[in-house]
C-alpha cells in the first residue's frame, strides 16, 4: 500500500463515519424499498402522506418473512413489503370481494409480471384459509374501522362482521412473536367504534384494547402520521380531509 493511500485511509474512514453519524439509516432496507426503481407514479404521489419507510420500519418486517397485507386494496403496501422480504419471502395481498371491487381490481396490473413474491387472494375475513401461526407480520392499514361499519345500502355488498370471530382469526394466523402493524384514522377520544360508520374513523385506545384482548401486546408507536390540526369530526375518504387526517400507527407483538 502506498504512503499516500496509508495517509488518506484514516481520513476516508473518518468521512464515512461522519456521513453515517449524520444519516443513521443510510442503507436502511425500508428506505431502499421506497426508493426502489419502477414503483408506479401514483404510489410516489402517496409517499409524502403515507410515510412508508417509517411505517415499515415500525412493523419490523425483514427479508425472508411471510407477510399478509390485510384488506390491501390495490396493494400499495404489498409492493413495498415485497421489496423488503425479498425473493425468499412472500406477501399475501388479501381483500374480501367488496374490497376487490372497490379498488377496481388494480392489484392485477400491480403484481402481474412485476412482483413474483406477491400473491393475491380473495378471502372471507372471518374464515381465513391460512394455517395456524403461519404469518410473520400482518399489515392492517386504514381498514380496521371498516369492520365496525354497518352499511344499510345493499348495493355496497358490505357484510356485517362478527368482530370477535374476525379478531380471533387474526390472532390464529399470526405466529407467536409475530408483528401486527395497525394504522387508522383517529376518532375523538372516548368514542369507541361509533365514528366508524359516519366518519370512517376509530378511537385509538379502543382499537388498542381490542387487539390486547385478543393476544397482542403493544410494542411500538409512531407519530409520523399525526395531524393535530384535524378536528376528527369530518369524514376521511372524501371532501377536505382526504390526505389530511390524524392517523395513529401502532405495532403489536403476538403473545
Domain extent listing, the chain: 36-254
Q: How confident is the model over 15-33, as a mean pLDDT?
A: 61
What average pLDDT is seen over the chain?
A: 91
Please give the average per-residue pLDDT across 205-228, as a whole number: 98
Strand duo 247-254 + 135-141: pairing: unpaired
Q: Which residues contact 114 (CB under 8 A, 6 or more apart)?
A: 38
CA 102, CA 114: separation in Å to the nearest integer?
22
Output the pLDDT for position 151. Answer: 77
pTM for the model: 0.88
Count of other CB atoms within 10 angstroms of residue 37: 4
Q: Indicate whether 251 pLDDT > 50.
A: yes
With a pLDDT cut of 70, the percent of the chain lying above it is: 88
Considering only CA atoms, give the Rg of the chain.
20
Looking at the DSSP bridge assignments, the partners of residue 119 are 92
Reduced to 3 states, what is the DSSP secondary structure of residue 141?
Answer: strand
Locate 223 and state its grid cell. Answer: 407519530
| CATH fold of the domain at 36-254 | Rossmann fold (3.40.50)
**Nearest partner of 236 among 222, 227, 163, 205, judged by Cα:** 227
Q: Which SS3 state, helix, strand or coil, does residue 229 take?
A: coil
Do the Cβ atoms of 144 and 184 come closer than 8 Å? yes
pLDDT-based confidence at 18, cuts 50/70/90? very low
Amino acid at each position: 500500500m502506498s504512503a499516500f493511500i496509508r495517509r488518506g485511509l484514516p481520513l476516508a474512514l473518518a468521512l464515512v463515519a461522519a456521513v453515517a453519524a449524520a444519516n443513521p439509516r443510510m442503507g436502511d432496507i425500508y428506505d431502499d424499498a421506497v426508493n426502489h426503481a419502477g414503483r408506479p407514479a401514483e404510489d410516489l404521489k402517496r409517499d409524502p402522506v403515507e410515510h412508508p419507510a417509517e411505517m415499515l420500519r415500525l412493523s419490523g418486517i425483514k427479508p425472508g418473512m411471510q407477510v399478509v397485507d390485510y384488506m390491501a386494496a390495490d396493494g400499495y403496501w404489498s409492493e413495498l413489503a415485497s421489496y423488503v422480504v425479498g425473493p425468499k419471502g412472500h406477501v399475501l395481498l388479501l381483500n374480501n370481494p367488496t374490497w376487490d371491487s372497490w379498488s377496481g381490481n388494480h392489484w392485477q396490473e400491480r403484481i402481474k409480471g412485476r412482483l413474483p413474491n406477491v400473491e393475491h387472494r380473495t378471502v372471507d375475513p372471518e374464515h381465513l384459509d391460512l394455517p395456524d401461526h403461519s404469518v410473520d407480520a400482518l399489515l392492517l392499514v386504514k381498514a380496521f374501522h371498516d369492520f365496525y361499519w354497518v352499511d344499510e345500502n345493499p348495493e355496497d355488498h358490505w357484510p356485517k362482521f362478527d368482530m370477535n370471530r374476525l379478531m380471533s382469526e387474526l390472532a390464529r394466523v399470526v405466529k407467536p412473536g409475530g408483528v401486527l402493524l395497525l394504522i387508522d384514522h383517529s376518532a375523538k377520544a372516548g368514542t369507541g367504534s361509533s365514528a366508524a360508520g359516519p366518519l370512517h374513523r376509530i378511537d385509538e385506545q379502543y382499537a388498542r384494547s381490542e387487539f390486547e384482548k385478543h393476544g397482542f401486546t403493544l410494542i411500538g408507536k409512531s407519530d409520523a402520521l399525526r395531524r393535530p390540526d384535524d378536528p376528527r369530526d369530518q369524514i376521511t375518504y372524501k371532501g377536505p380531509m382526504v390526505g389530511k387526517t390524524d392517523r395513529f400507527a401502532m405495532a403489536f407483538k403476538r403473545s
